[in-house]
Each structure stands twice: as structure tokens, then as C-alpha cells.
Chains A and B, each alone.
Chain A
Amino acid sequence: MPAERQAVNYRVKNLILAHIGVSFATLAAAAVLGAWQMTVRTGVNPPFATPETYFASVSAHGTIMGYVMPTLFTMGFGYFVAVTALDQPLPSMRLAWAGFWLAAVGIVAAIIPIVMGKATVLYTFYPPLTGSVFYYLGVLLVVVGSWFWVALMIWAMAHWKRNNPGRPVPLAMFGTVANAFLWLWTTGGVAVEIIFQLIPASLGWTQMIDVGLARTLFAWTLHPIVYFWLLPAYIAFYTIAPQAAGARLYSDLMGRLSFILLLLFSLPVGMHHLFMDPEHGTGFKFLQAMLTALVVLPTFLTVFTISASMEIAGRLRGGKGLFGWIAALPWDRPMVLATCLSFVLLGFGGFGGVVNMAYAMNAMIHNTSWVTAHFHLIFGGAVVIMYFAITYWIWPILLEREAADVRPLRLQLWLWFIGIVIMTFPWHVLGLLGQPRRIATFDYANPVIAQWQPWVFVSMFGGYLMLVSALLFVWNIATLYRARPVGDNRMHYAVAVYPPARVPNALNGFALWNWLLLFLMVVAYGYPLGQFFLMDVYPGLVHRVDIGS
């Protein structure tokens, strides 16, 4: 059964274009801010550089890159997968558009107060600092809009299963629904923080705020959100990349297993962001550190399965010997190139991640530039490069047009890769030297800090390469609208070497795993959250940044 499905037939074309379009429009804006921030940090004093503008800019950059861009991309890609992999219309177009407009209004509501300097709290919120209520409401609306998407993904899969009893849910959709559940769990922490702590404080209803509780709720969200960003990339690794390379997926089962493990082990581990916090004891920090190690497992499995799939492709194309198949891969195809570059970045990033995880090393690099470097490498690099490649893959299908020349596409991917490497390597070094993150201006007159300056310049250069790449991406997509029409709008997903005729129930749905996750979450967070209600804590006084206190 060849997997050829048409998105356009199900009237979702504009829905998908709207989501992914907004996602990348905000990415381009945030990339401009990022490059400007880089420039400020070198000490050359570009126009408009003041602490007010720097931190407003970082607030906008973080909010867009953390909450807006990946969420809208994942929603758009999810809708694409739901109609093409399942070959059925969305359960409700009205709900899908409602979710989009909620998110769109939320984006505007969040950005305006940032620009006005009334929400300079950075995307991590960290009360007692408290900004304009519109900022929190805006972020909340984006989250609520994405919950519509979650509901639609779960609904679509349930509908399909009812119509196709006994058949395995297509892997792309299985991964997408795994991500929908993951996101629902993930947003629980931050939604509670926003609704019960931040909004009441920003409205002036409460003067005091439980800081430890807020940090713990945010940590609940902060780790799994990274995996929510990552999953679209994984879905592409499993279900698009082997197809692009002209082969089949080595194993469908490994894919299912990896998605389930990612769902389970990305959630009960957020407290490793609180290793250096005084409001938690060693026991639970240690427990969650151990669980953090487990999340490496699905990544190992994925690297293996995808490499094996690529090897099949290379050998089919005549590659010989131990490494000959690598050279034989169709490198000219953006999806194949991006997958490889992404793996390289994951490799670099994985190493840094292990360092973060080691309890001991963490003490040296916590909240230094090392951390910023690490997540730009993994998320800005390995993940976003796959967002680009996915878009290059599905945009032509949606438009029924094809780029005549893919060289600008490849150039864009290479620029992003080189840019991220040049930007983040010096940043890692600076972190080890003790450069703290989130600082607008350094006192380069101090001889110790002056030694950092050359590294800061190098990383700025990498940042500008990334900016050029981001703009080139927008250009590549825009020119596609005038490219040659092709009467072909079929989506081909990679088929497994041995497509499973049936899979066990546990690998075809999420009920069992959600129960297990509930158990893990109660174990991991029951006491750490409960302690704030059991012991005598002293809340902190709300500090307004938008009005004089």
C-alpha cells in the first residue's frame, strides 16, 4: 500500500500555510533581534543599545523562539501529517482555525507590551519580577490555541482507528500524537503558574508570590518543552528522510518505541534545571538527574535506526565498503543534507548535554553562556535545520510548485550549520571562563573580562551568518510562489522495510503510557510541589517592571 496522500484535497492547505508562515515570519524577526543582541554583547555599542532595549529584545527573542515559532510550526506540520498520513479530513476545520486565531491574537498581545518595555521579564518569567498582564495573557492564549491542536490530533487518530480497526496507526501520525500528549503534559506546569500566580500578581490582586513554587512549576515545563520542539525533527527523521534518500525505514517498531520513551522520560525530569536552587533537597534533585539519563535512550535508538536506513539507501545507490554508502547518498537533496547536518549538531550538543547533566560539572556552567550555547546548538541548530528541511519538503506539495534549482536551498542549510557552529563554540568556551548569560554590556575595561572579548566577536560573526541564512530561507520560500507548477501534490512517507501488519495495542495508542506517566509525575513532583504547602514558606514581594512599585 503506497503512502500517497493529498493535503490539498482536504482544504487544509491555507491552514498549514498560515501556521508555518507565521512561525517563520516571527523567526525572521527574532533572528534580527538575535544578531543585534550579539552585537551589543561585543561592546561595540550598536544603535539603540541600552539595558532597557537589550532585555526587551531578549524577552522578545526568547518568547518567539521558545513559545511562538516552534509551537506554530509543530501545529502546522501536525495538521499536514494528520490529513496526509491518515488520508482523511481534519475532524473540525472550525476548531483548527479557532486555535490559530487564538494563538495569533496571543502573539500580538504578548509582543506589544514587550516592545513598550512593560514586560521585560524574559521568557522564563521568574517572579517576583512581574510585567504587564497582557504579556502573560498573550502567552497563555498561544498555549490555549495549541490545546485546540492537541485535541484535534487525538481526535483525528481516534477517528482513524475506529475506521481502521486492527491496523497500525501510520508512524508519522503516531509520533505527532505522542507529541500532542507530550505538549499537553508539558504545558500543565506553566499554565498553572500563569493562571494562579502570574496573572493575579500582574493584575495587582496579590502582593506576594510563592517564588519556589513558581520556579518548580516552570521547571516542570522547561525540560519537556525541548522535546516538544524536537519531535517534529524526529518525525521527519523516521518518516521523511529515508524516503528522501530513496530507501525505506529500517524499523517501524523502533520509531514507535522512541516516541513512547520520549513521552515518558522527558517529563519527570524538569527539576534538573533546579540543581542549583535552594528550595529543593538533594533527594529529588538526584532522582530526576537519574531519570534524565534515561531520555538519552530514544535518541540512541533513533540515531541507529536512521543511520541504518540511510545505509540501505547508500548501498542501493551502489555505495560499497564500510563508509562508501555515506558518499553514495543523494547529498543534493535538502532533506538528506539537513538530516546529516542535524545529526552532527546533535552529536556536538549531546556531548554538552551530558556535561550539563553531570551533577558536578553543572556547578561550573549553570547559567553561564555555556547554557545559551548548548540550547542554540541543539534547538536552534539540530532542530530548526530540520524545520527548514521539512518546509522545503512540504511547501512544494502544498503549492503544487517545485523549485527549479535547489542550490539556494542547500546554501541556506549550510549557512545555518556553519553559522551555528561558529556562534556556539566560542560561547561554550566563554561559559567555562565564567561569562554569565543574559548580560547586556560587559565591563571590557576589566582585564579579565577583556580576555573574553575576542571570543564574543567570533560568536557574533556566526550569529550574522545565521541571520543571513534565516533571510535566505524566507526568500527561498517566497520565490517558490513563482516557481514552475507541477501537477503533483502527493505526499510520500517512508515505508518500513517490513511494514508491520499489526502492532500490539500498547504500540498503537497512548492510554497505557499516559497512566504510567501520571504515576511517574506523581513520584517525581508530588513531594517537590507538595512541600510548598506543607512547610512554612515565605513568599516574595511582587516587583513590578511595568509600573513603579
Chain B
Amino acid sequence: MSEETIRRSELMWGAIAAFGVGIMAAVIVVSSFAMAIHPPSNVETIDPTTLNTNSEFAESNLGTRVNPDGSVTVRIVATQFEFLPRCIPVPKDRQVTFRVTSPDVIHGFLIAGSNANTMVVPGYVAQLRTVFSSAGDHLMPCHEFCGLGHSEMWALVKVLDGAEWKPDASGKASCELPR
């Protein structure tokens, strides 16, 4: 084996490797644009110490709401150690916007079996959009350690189809946890 052979094999492999990296980069680009993935990147700040007096995240305004234009927004507060509200109804096949924030420490937001996933960082509103294409229940655990009660911090998302989806006159929808 001459030094020249070695050099040539290395160049060839280098090209193959670079090509592989190129493909990977392309996958990232395509998947993030074409599949319309929106990670929570709105960079919207909010004062975490005055959430209860903030009109948007006041207790009475939390939960699922149909907006005047027909779109659906869910507002959630993640706090040690529960989500408010703990049961979240959403319609099937409609775009749902989640807006989540925390008054205390960092929490996590994950709707199991979907791509709805965000960190909940005090001082910021995490916003994400998703569409649920089949009816059914999804677990919604807090996925970041937030203190000793972290393991108990779960909520439930109920995806309801046409007949079951019944918001009230003001556009609000709510549900009860089983048990």
C-alpha cells in the first residue's frame, strides 16, 4: 500500500462523509420547512410574578376557548405541581394554539403521542400550534424536573370529534378528569 493509495482512499471517504453530512442537513431543512414544524420560538416575555393579575393568564381565562374567528386557543399555567386546568378538551382536525407559561420554576409540556412539546420557562409565553387528527385521550406530563412533586404533575388532553365537542355560549370548553 503506497502513501498515494492511502491519500486517495481518504479523499474519497472524506467526500462520501461530506455528502452524508449534506444529506443530513437537507433532511433538517426539509423537515423543518416542509413539515411546517413550529418549535416554540415566539420569544414573548411576560412578568412571572404577576401572572394572577395578568388579564390573559388570570385563572378565569385559562383553558380552552374558541375565538371569535373560529380558531381555538388553549391557555395553560404550569405551576408547582399541577397544570391549570388539569383537563383540556380540544377539537379534532382543527388547528389548536397552546399558550403556556409558569409563575414559578421551569416546567415541561408534552402531549404524549403528538409533536406538541415545549419547555415552560418563567418569564416567557411558550406558544405552539398543532392539529390532532384522531379523537382520544392523551397524557400530558410535565417533562422537566420542577421539584419534589414533579412526578405527580400530569394533565389530560381530550381530543373530541364533532358531536362531543361542545363549547359553551361564551366559547369556553372544559372537561373533568376521570375518577
A→B interface (CB under 8 Å):
51-52, 54-55, 120, 122, 126, 128-129, 211-212, 215, 250-251, 253-254, 274-282, 285-286, 289-290, 293-294, 296-297, 300-301, 304-305, 308, 312, 354, 357-364, 366-368, 433-434, 436-443, 446, 448-449, 497-498, 531, 535-541, 543, 545
Q: A441: which B residues are within 8 A, CB to CB?
A: 151
What are 30 A-B contacts with C-beta separation under 8 Å? A126-B105, A129-B147, A250-B6, A251-B6, A278-B42, A278-B119, A279-B121, A282-B39, A294-B21, A297-B18, A300-B13, A301-B13, A357-B24, A358-B27, A359-B37, A362-B117, A364-B117, A368-B110, A368-B143, A434-B113, A436-B110, A438-B143, A438-B150, A440-B150, A443-B154, A497-B3, A538-B48, A540-B105, A540-B123, A541-B49
Q: Is the CB of A126 within 8 A of B35?
A: no
B79 to chain A minimum Cβ distance, whole angstroms, is 11
Q: B123: which A residues are within 8 A, CB to CB?
A: 211-212, 279, 537-540
Q: Is the CB of B45 within 8 A of A290?
A: no
Q: Is B169's CB within 8 Å of the partner chain A?
A: no
B150 to chain A minimum Cβ distance, whole angstroms, is 7
Alpha-carbon distance A54/B106, docked complex (angstroms) = 19
| Ranked 7 nearest A-B pairs via Cβ | A434-B112, A300-B17, A278-B126, A436-B143, A540-B122, A363-B115, A367-B143
Alpha-carbon distance A274/B28, docked complex (angstroms) = 16
Known: A278-B119, A363-B37, A538-B122. 6 other contacts (CB 8 A): A51-B148, A126-B144, A129-B146, A293-B21, A358-B28, A361-B31
Most buried by A among B6, B35, B37, B39: B39
Q: Is the CB of A277 within 8 A of B17?
A: no
Identify the closest chain A residue to B32 (Cβ). Answer: A359
Q: Is the CB of B28 within 8 A of A357?
A: yes
Q: Is the CB of A359 within 8 A of B39?
A: yes
Q: B163: which A residues are within 8 A, CB to CB?
A: none
Identify the closest chain A residue to B24 (Cβ). Answer: A293
Alpha-carbon distance A538/B122, docked complex (angstroms) = 8
Alpha-carbon distance A294/B20, docked complex (angstroms) = 10
Q: Is B58's CB within 8 Å of the partner chain A?
A: no
Q: A290: which B residues are within 8 A, CB to CB?
A: 25, 28-29
Scan residues 93-128 of chain B and give those whose CB is less than 8 A from a CB of chain A.
Answer: 104-106, 108, 110, 112-127
**Residue interface bits B27-65, CB-to-A below 8 A is 1, else 0:** 111011001010111111111110000000000000000
Q: Is B68's CB within 8 Å of the partner chain A?
A: no
Identify the closest chain A residue to B20 (Cβ). Answer: A300
Which of B48, B112, B121, B127 is close to A277, meaning CB atoms less than 8 Å apart?
Answer: B121
Q: B115: which A residues are within 8 A, CB to CB?
A: 360, 363-364
Identify the closest chain B residue to A439 (Cβ). Answer: B151
B→A interface (CB under 8 Å):
1, 3, 6, 9-10, 13-14, 16-18, 20-21, 24-25, 27-29, 31-32, 35, 37, 39-49, 80, 104-106, 108, 110, 112-127, 137, 139, 141-151, 154
Q: How many A-B residue pairs have CB under 8 A?
A: 208
Q: B29: which A residues are within 8 A, CB to CB?
A: 290
Q: B18: which A residues are within 8 A, CB to CB?
A: 297
Please judge, given known A-B contacts A281-B41, A289-B28, whether A440 and B104 are in contact too, CB under 8 Å. Answer: no
Alpha-carbon distance A536/B142, docked complex (angstroms) = 27
A234 to chain B minimum Cβ distance, whole angstroms, is 15
Identify the closest chain A residue to B25 (Cβ). Answer: A293
Most buried by B among A122, A361, A538: A538
Q: B114: which A residues are within 8 A, CB to CB?
A: 364
A6 to chain B minimum Cβ distance, whole angstroms, is 31
Q: A289: which B residues are within 8 A, CB to CB?
A: 28, 32
Q: Is the CB of A276 within 8 A of B28?
A: no
Q: Is the CB of B110 within 8 A of A304?
A: no
Q: B10: which A residues are within 8 A, CB to CB?
A: 251, 253-254, 304-305
Q: A52: which B residues are within 8 A, CB to CB?
A: 148
Identify the closest chain A residue to B40 (Cβ). Answer: A278
Alpha-carbon distance A539/B37, docked complex (angstroms) = 29
Q: Is the CB of A297 within 8 A of B43?
A: no
Identify the closest chain A residue to B14 (Cβ). Answer: A301
